[in-house]
Amino acid sequence: MFRIIKETNIDFIGMRRKAFVFSTVLILLGLTAFVMVLLNKANMGIDFAGGTMLQGNFAHEINIGDLREAIASGGFPEASIQELDRTDVGVF
């Protein structure tokens, strides 16, 4: 009979302490992440936090300060504007 894996001799019982420590670390990381989400300390993307994302393309370079001012005067004072490497694209 063709066998891909030959005879194995893995001492799982001997590695139980390492497995216990590894499992404990993973559980603590998961609990920490859960608490961070509950306390609103996690930086959630728009997928989980909700909201609206708009992307604008401009024919020429614009001043970000002027754009922030225009958006704030339009009724969105808490808008977050991100400038990309390209000067003709802005995500806000």
Average pLDDT, rounded, for the chain: 84
Structural contact between residues 90 and 67, judged by C-beta atoms closer than 8 angstroms: yes
Three-class DSSP labels, 27-80? HHHHHHHHHHHHCCCCCCCHHHHCCCCCEEECCCCCCHHHHHHHHHHCCCCCCC
Domain containing residue 83: 16-91
pLDDT reported for residue 35? 95
For residue 10, being part of any structural domain is answered with: no
Residue 89 forms beta bridges with which residues? 57
Report the predicted TM-score, pTM, of the whole model to 2 decimal places: 0.48
pLDDT reported for residue 41? 85
Tell me how many domains the chain contains: 1
Q: Is the pLDDT of residue 22 over 70?
A: yes
Q: How confident is the model over 69-85, as pLDDT tens digits? A: 998 999 988 888 877 77
Q: How confident is the model over 35-50, as pLDDT tens digits? A: 998 998 887 776 776 7
Amino acid letter, residue 1: M
Q: Is the pLDDT of residue 92 over 60?
A: no
